[in-house]
Structure 1
Amino acid sequence: MAVEYSCCETAFIIRIILITLLVLFAGLMSGLTLGLMSMSLVELEVLVKSGTPSDRKHAAKILPVVRRQHLLLCTLLICNAVAMETLPIFLDSLVTAWGAIVISVTLVLLFGEQILPQAVCTRYGLAIGAAVAPFVQILVWICFPVAYPISKLLDRFLGKDHDALYRRAELKTLVDLHSNEAGKGGELTRDETMIIAGALELTKKTARDAMTPISKTFAIDINAKLDRDLMKLILEKGHSRVPVYYEQPRNIIGLILVKNLLTVHPADEVPARNVTIRKILRVSENMPLYVLLNEFQKGHSHMAVVVGERGNQIEQPSTENPTDGILKRRV
């Protein structure tokens, strides 16, 4: 009698242990389904390259596991389904049918499927995923004969890659949200967000968008005399380069380096034409800004004149097309 009681007690303890393991296993699979599948490959690659030391370590462990997303998804769902279907078998031998249903639903809801596992893995998905990555890889190998064909069908009908890189407008919005002015805990300053946003919009802008109109540009006539008044005006403007025009402000023919005027005495009233006039770069108003930026980075010029393409060229022997504006390299 004692031996029979001992055997029943041992069987009961074994069933309780198995039920507990099944619930924990199902909960782990459910949590990983949400935690791992919510991490895109792009996000993990960003963490690997520029995350904190711990995030880099965790992301590096997870990345090989989630690279084949559909295979991982099928593996986790199969393991979760097996655990959930096995659980009532052991519960039915311990309690009545309605009791098994109530206990099974409660355990599944709280621990095995929804609330607790997904809440924990949503908060600590990266660390948990990295810790169980070797175990998940083993499960992938075990479920491979069943999971692989299903994953290939999903690849075929849904597409293999689900990662979509951000478009420029989306990146700009993302940068704005990371600004400290957005009030969401971002670290980017207003100047930093403006610089990044400007770089993202660079391909859409042309030279005409960034130029200073001729009407607002300070320039001197090639026949003007560098007397005391003009020299004082040049110094007051504070520019390192001054455009030079012929008869009309729109006929820009070159530029003068202000530092070259140090040797000019105002009392001599030397004509501007007698000073070294450097060639100025001419660009079309439709030239993309990033192309012009590359030209400036070559170091051959710090200023360019923007020429319109309307075809109404002013007939002057020393000019090309009428100038619409001045574009300066700002460092």
Structure 2
Amino acid sequence: MLLSALASGAEAAFFALSDAELEQYKNSHNKAEQKIYRLLQTPRKLLTTLLIINNGINVSIITLFAYVSWQVFGTRSLSAWAIICCMLLATFSIVFFAEVLPKIYANKRGASIARKLAPAISFLQEVSKPLSSTLMGISDYIEKHYLSKSYHQSLEELHHSLDMALINEETSPEERKLLRGIVNFGSITVGQIMRQRKDIVAFNMNATIPELLPLILKWGYSRVPVYAHSKDKIEGILYIKDLLPHINEGPEFKWQHLIRVPLLVSEQKHIAELLNDFKDKHVHMAIVVDEEGKTTGLLTLEDVVEEIVGEINDEFDDDEEIIYSQLDENTFIFDGKTSLHDFCKIAEIPFDSFNEVKSDASSVAGLMRSVFGRVPRVGETLSYGRFHFTIESADLKRVKRVKINVTSKKEVFQKAS
């Protein structure tokens, strides 16, 4: 019962810590506090570990209750009232002594409890890693293939209604894009629109101010991620406005204390939820991480808003055009490097149109490899649903250019009628 109470208390203690406390722990010399910070960089993994420990202990408690009952009554064939009494006693004991009381206590003394339990939890996380990884994998599979199924069906119905409205009404291209952006907004995930890790501009924490200034002028960003060893682990976000009062300082100035705690999110998070996080935490940038806490991408508030209103360019933005050409209303030629998200946006089709065949592909070239089952040759064609692909350019390793014909919804409706 004590072990179960410690597991429940640990859960409450770790997740009761504030962002300010975590920021202190990040630069702390206390090993326990450093472990707390590292554990909370992958909160889902930490929670899974704690649940495995707690449920394992609770199952042991129930088993012991059953064993003691058999010894007390001298038989394994217990009467109904005896079973009910044992069940009520075990449930009350676990809920009150191993759940409610520890969590109330831990909420008041979260930091102290977390420091004491951090070494043990860190060790148990490694021990239970095979089981926790398996459970998280199963959870991801169920969420991806079943829990979101009804949501996608509703989304398809909404797309159908929108297509019917756009066919029957006179709407400008700008209005059509805005309407589609609103409809699609709730279904878009962070991973679909994030800037990939290889494209992230980040500063090294070991750089001095004189070394930083040329980089700041070169890139012109107002917020820049900061790393210690590699981009795999972003330590914080440097706001250039925080650095301005110190630009005349020498190499000895410790600018690292100016960096702020980064907002870490997963690729599976929907941007509608992320927008709420941006508003609640008053930040404009999020670092995308995988289950191991390694950086996979970056996303800003501007990126999220652009999914509804379209591209937002100021006087400092470069015109980075997506490389494609439109031959007619339904036919496009795309560069293989174009992301699937951008292709769907330009062709005005649902973002989940290729979910069944794309596998892990994120670009048009990757989609071709998944659809064909190999790297296709120049001139090869293939149809999938209402899409017809023709390979315009390719080599032995990748597809460089693809012609894509999209059968319009209008034609589909006319054939159906």
TM range (shorter): 0.3 to 0.5
Structure showing greater radius of gyration is 1
TM-score by length of 2: 0.32
More helix by share: 1
